[in-house]
Amino acid sequence: MGLVDLQVVDQVAELGDWLADGGVVVLSGAGLSTDSGIPDYRGPSGSARRSTPMTYQTFTRDPVARRRYWARSHLGWRTIGEAQPNDGHRAVARFQQAGLLRGIITQNVDGLHQAAGAREVVELHGNLARITCLACGGSTPRELLSHRLDAANPQFAGVATAFNADGDAELADESLDGFTVVDCLDCGGLLKPDVVYFGETVPPERVSRSFDLVAGARTLLVLGSSLTVMSGRRFVLRAARDGIRVAIVNRGVTRGEPYAGLCVDAPLGIVLPHLACELTPVSS
């Protein structure tokens, strides 16, 4: 398996028993996508962002801030849009295909669970691959917007100095000068990635569906999340309250440890493929 810590080996074996019981709900965070080249915020492969996250209020009310956001996001999409699922994503998809999972909830906005073959994923915070119009509600693919922004900004040559898990690149201010934002082709309204900004709430139907999944689970399996924000931690709290087993696989500490029966501090890219091989053998 590639792990030398005997305690971790024992923990992974116990986690395999829990997975084999079925009825598992996966809750994934940014740490699951780091092996795909997308940094997380707080784990070993990333750091807390240096710029203030965009809020919905600022995005809609401040044209200068909105232009700055779109320049950074346009550059960040070049990384997010090209990212490929890693062995951890593929292992989760195999668990689902083998009937071991009750559902998948993700805090990520990269769409890599689905790219790996997973289905019916609850995307708590949306998906960067979709663009929505705040006026008419129309939805378009991100790729279309990317082409339009390229055409509107042929001289844009910004270089990211850092990159965040939500696709927001860090850019020097001088790189933002003259960047042109485009609006909805149908009605001229403001366009926004179909993701939940700070200052917005997760759509109630996604929260309700997630709680329903957790309520019927045997195990809530948290993958790659520090559980710092309540958006994900609330499901751990609900599971613990209802006597549902909680397992966490994450590099470093998480705020869910007091509620977990298993906490495995080990690389997801090793643990998950190992368990997939153990529990979902590929037929020849």
Q: Are strands 219-223 and 24-28 parallel, antiparallel or unpaired?
A: parallel
**Would you list which residues are annotated within the binding site for Zn(2+)?**
133, 136, 184, 187
Q: Which residues are annotated as a binding site?
A: 133, 136, 184, 187
**Rounded Cα–Cα distance for residues 175 and 173 (Å):** 5
- Do the strands 262-264 and 245-249 form a parallel or antiparallel pair, or are they unpaired? parallel
Residue 125 annotated in active site: yes
Rounded to the nearest 5°, which phi and psi values hold at 126? 90, -160
Which residues does 198 contact at the CB level (< 8 Å), separation at least 6?
A: 53, 54, 55, 56
The single residue of 113, 125, 147, 274 carrying the catalytic annotation is 125
- Residue 116 neighbours by CB under 8 Å, 6+ apart: 85, 89, 90, 92, 93
Q: Is the distance from CB of 278 to CB of 22 less than 8 angstroms?
A: no
Residues marked active site are found at 125
